[in-house]
Structure 1
Amino acid sequence: MINKEDQSKEITPTTLPSFFKDWNWEDRKAKKSNSNKYEEVIDFFISWTLRCAEEKYKDISPSVNDYAKKVLSKLLFDDENHLKDKVVTSVDVWRQWKYIDLITEIKINDEWYLLAFENKMYSPVDLEQLKSMYEITEKYGIGNDFPNANRKYVLLRPDYCFIEEDTKVLAQLKEIIVETEYKKFIYTNIEEIRDKIGISKTDNALFDEFWFNW
């Protein structure tokens, strides 16, 4: 979860190419909603990053695999080094399954994990979106024998811009689901993940543009 002190973090313009940008800078500061499908770009890069964490890519692109594995480790365990000595056997990702942005099945050593994503640029998230993601993913996990403890739900932003609004919605969610399930919700952003892991260029231009030139 993002710490409250991060709310004061100043937002500055990004250096991403135009196809990453959700709107112009003035609109973004005013928090006007105009996503225009740019969230699909986030979906693609998160999906690609997680799949790059598989062990089979370790020898193909070691630096990309290492960083991707740290991203996955941070999301699943809130510790970028937790998977350091573990094998990510497989990562399968489905986009827009029952309106969930990403559903990800992950096998680490011999244990299965499930990550569901609601990816947002600068459009608001509402309670029903998060509730629906939780209910659908819960049924999916039970139906496919995923251990309850290994199911996580991610609300992902590019940066800290909407922390105040998102925190209010998450507080509403906390009131309607049991505490043990609420603790499985991960609220984070790409900037925070990068700050925790650090910058380690991979020499893959697209990968580095997304993760390091934000």
Structure 2
Amino acid sequence: MEKVSLLMKDSSEGDSQKETMIDFILSWTLRRSIQQYSEEKPILYQYCRKILGKLIGIEMTDDVQVTSVETWKQWKYIDLWANIRITCNGKEEFHAVLIENKAYTPTHHNQLARYKAIFDQVCEEYMPNTKRHYILITALDEMPAMLANECKENGYIPFCLGDLNDYEQQDSESDLFNEFWLRYW
């Protein structure tokens, strides 16, 4: 019997709202990277920190503390928006992250450029000194060349979900995390 994730594979045709599932899991994962969860489930906490670190390009060493993560799903059609506050050696940093995810569908109607413009306008108005990150995540095993080129043209960093999960496959203390990030899907 083929190993598949019960979260992502079923008998439905097409996307079947898989992007909504990815939005939820990503939001939850980012919020679990906050320092307050460091002792509750330490393996889960470290995994979530690594994923956040990859998305914003920061090595999550012991001197880096994530002090807050706020997320919004489907705000102005942006799949996931995250505002992150990090403290490193007493210095505070703010990061805004735009995440567009694609399960098994292509981009359409110049959406990467449109979402980036919306994101930039809000950041300029309300948080101009925030470091901005533009991310596209696909559920595919390999990034299609056309999607990678579109990301490059629009200033997005492309990831396959597998790029964010390079763990030794040790289970975390969370069945939800294990099923989504560590199992086949």
Q: TM-score, normalised by structure 2?
A: 0.87
Shift >4 Å, 4+ stretches: none
Say which SS state the counterpart of residue 88 (structure 1) adopts: strand
User: Paired residue for 1:105, among 61, 83, 87?
Assistant: 83
User: Paired residue for 2:4, among 6, 12, 15?
Assistant: 15
Task: Map 1:17-56; keep pairs closer than 5 Å.
Answer: 17=6, 19-21=7-9, 34-56=14-36
Q: Give the structure 2 partner of residue 202 of structure 1.
A: 172
Task: Map 1:174-185; keep pairs closer than 5 Å.
Answer: 174=153, 182=155, 185=156
User: Paired residue for 2:161, among 166, 190, 210?
Assistant: 190
RMSD: 2.1
Q: Give the structure 2 partner of residue 156 of structure 1.
A: 137
Say which SS state the counterpart of residue 106 (structure 1) adopts: strand
1:144 to partner: Cα distance: 1.8
- Cα distance in structure 1, aligned partners of 2:105 and 2:169: 27
Contact in 1 for aligned 2:143/2:160 (Cα 8 Å): no
Say which SS state the counterpart of residue 202 (structure 1) adopts: coil
- Cα distance in structure 2, aligned partners of 1:132 and 1:23: 33
Larger fraction in strand: 2
Q: TM-score, normalised by structure 1?
A: 0.76
Q: Give the structure 2 partner of residue 169 of structure 1.
A: 150
- Please say if 1:117 is aligned against 2:106: no
What are structure 2's unaligned runs of at least 5 residues?
A: none
Q: Give the structure 2 partner of residue 211 of structure 1.
A: 181
Contact in 2 for aligned 1:126/1:169 (Cα 8 Å): no
Matched AA of 2:42: P
1:117 to partner: Cα distance: 0.8
- Cα distance in structure 2, aligned partners of 1:106 and 1:146: 14
Matched AA of 2:73: R
Query: Matched residue pairs, number?
Result: 179
Q: 1:38 to 1:22 in 2, by over 3 A?
A: farther
- Cα distance in structure 2, aligned partners of 1:101 and 1:83: 28
Q: 1:97 to 1:22 in 2, by over 3 A?
A: farther
Q: How far does the alpha carbon of each residue in 1:32-65 deviate from its partner, in whole angstroms, 9 at most, with x for none?
A: xx21212111011000000000001112111111
Q: Give the structure 2 partner of residue 3 of structure 1.
A: none
Contact in 1 for aligned 2:79/2:99 (Cα 8 Å): yes
Say which SS state the counterpart of residue 36 (structure 2) adopts: helix
Larger fraction in helix: 1
